[in-house]
Structure 1
Amino acid sequence: MDTTTPVSQQPSNASGKWSDAVRDVSNGGSQSNRTTPEPKDTQPPVPLVGMGVKATTAIGEEVSGTVFTYDTTTNCLSRAFPGSSKSTFKILKISHLKDFALTPVDPNTPSIVPEIKHISLDRVRAREAAAVKEAQQRLARIGEGVTTEAQDIFDALSKTLPCRWAKDSIVVLDEVIISPPYDVANCKANASSSASLARVKKVLEGEKKRLQSAK
């Protein structure tokens, strides 16, 4: 049995023919119940997606595939060409078709429309919160009104030591403050943090030498 739904071959009425075909699918292929035309801005019914389509373009090119979507605003049809591992998609302008026909797809053929799976809102909110926190942390690592050299020193130190900005000074380990121009002599800490101060000075000296040699 030929399961193809033929459509008239008048090229000047392609858009109207497509709308008729859409309504035919919606009514199960019957035109007897059609009393009022559908508005032009009405999206086609879901059953149309996934159907096969054979078309001849205005220049005589014959193409076939599966209906992936149809946009009433641009009057364009998206078709999928299933392959062995992936599908190729092509967009056609309905008004540029000379002829087309819809054909049912074998139910055993894998659907080109991906299944909509359940989404956990808790996981979405957790990912959102994590992304916001990470963005805030990145922003906090950028000094306000500091020089490029100061930012480079901060970035270098923060790779091995926890750092934060306090206006234009760098606070390392929450114990050592490095003030502009960020030399070893500008490192200060309380007497109880002498070990941390010595460590920061050593790291700072090495990073400044590395940055100087990279220029």
Structure 2
Amino acid sequence: MDDRKKQIKTMNAAETLLGRQIKVKTVLNEQMEGRPKHSSFRIIKISHIKEILSVEQEKKDYANIGYIHLDGVKNREMEAMRGFSEQVSKMGVGVSKEGQDIFYALSKTLPCRWSKDTIIVMDEVYITPPYGVEDCKSNHTTSLARVKKVLEGERKRLNIK
């Protein structure tokens, strides 16, 4: 048997024995065996392996694998991607830690997004660095007053002066 066929046969045997306690015999008649409930490994050249045996009895009572609904898997994937996209959109690029902390605090109660290094709240109020109450700008006085009040409270809570 040539080396390539021997490698394929050995790899197929290894796949069927994955997770089991095995005994390995080498071409030098050396035997190696794993211990129950312990993980161990040895690196052995395939050309040195003579035989691989399972120490355990083969189980015949494996549970059948149920049908996997791909629609459910796709929905979970889309939900995870949406969540990831939302997390990424909340990260400011090139902003200070203080600015990011303020953004996270504001976004818990008000809809916020980034536009470069500016926090845009409710699509009406713009907060520029260093993200103080005096850095808020808007043409909507009621929204501006509300955001300033929330920002002032969050800065106190975060101990930012």
TM over 0.5: yes
1:95: Cα distance to partner? 8.0
1:46: Cα distance to partner? 6.1
The answer to whether the 8 Å contact 2:119/2:127 transfers is: yes
2:71 to 122, 126, 151: 122
Structure 1 gap segments, 5+ residues each: 1-35, 66-80, 82-86
Corresponding residue of 1:168: 117
The alignment status of 1:91 with 2:58, answered yes or no, reads no
User: Per chain length, whose mean CA-contact separation is higher, i.e. which structure has more relative contact order (CA < 8 Å, sep 6+)?
Assistant: 1
Corresponding residue of 1:210: 157
More strand, by proportion: 1
TM-score w.r.t. length of structure 1: 0.51
Corresponding residue of 1:49: 16
Question: How many aligned positions are there?
Answer: 153
SS at match of 2:8: coil
More helix, by proportion: 2
Q: For residues 212 and 40 of structure 1, do their structure 2 counterparts lie closer, same or farther at Cα, with a shift above 3 Å needed?
A: same
1:163: Cα distance to partner? 0.9
The answer to whether the 8 Å contact 1:56/1:63 transfers is: no
SS at match of 1:91: coil
Q: For residues 143 and 46 of structure 1, do their structure 2 counterparts lie closer, same or farther at Cα, with a shift above 3 Å needed?
A: same
TM-score w.r.t. length of structure 2: 0.65
Identity %: 42
Kindly name which structure, 1 or 2, has the bigger radius of gyration based on alpha carbons: 1
Corresponding residue of 1:143: 92
Structure 2 gap segments, 5+ residues each: none
The answer to whether the 8 Å contact 1:53/1:100 transfers is: no
Q: Determine the C-alpha separation between the residues in 2 that align with 1:103 and 1:141.
A: 52
Amino acid at match of 2:8: T
Aligned-pair RMSD on alpha carbons?
A: 4.1
1:164: Cα distance to partner? 0.6
1:143: Cα distance to partner? 1.8
1:174: Cα distance to partner? 2.5
Please show how residues 1-215 of structure 1 align to structure 2 within 5 Å: 39-44=5-10, 45=12, 49=16, 53-54=22-23, 63=33, 81=36, 87-92=37-42, 93=44, 102=53, 106=57, 117-191=66-140, 194=142, 196-212=143-159
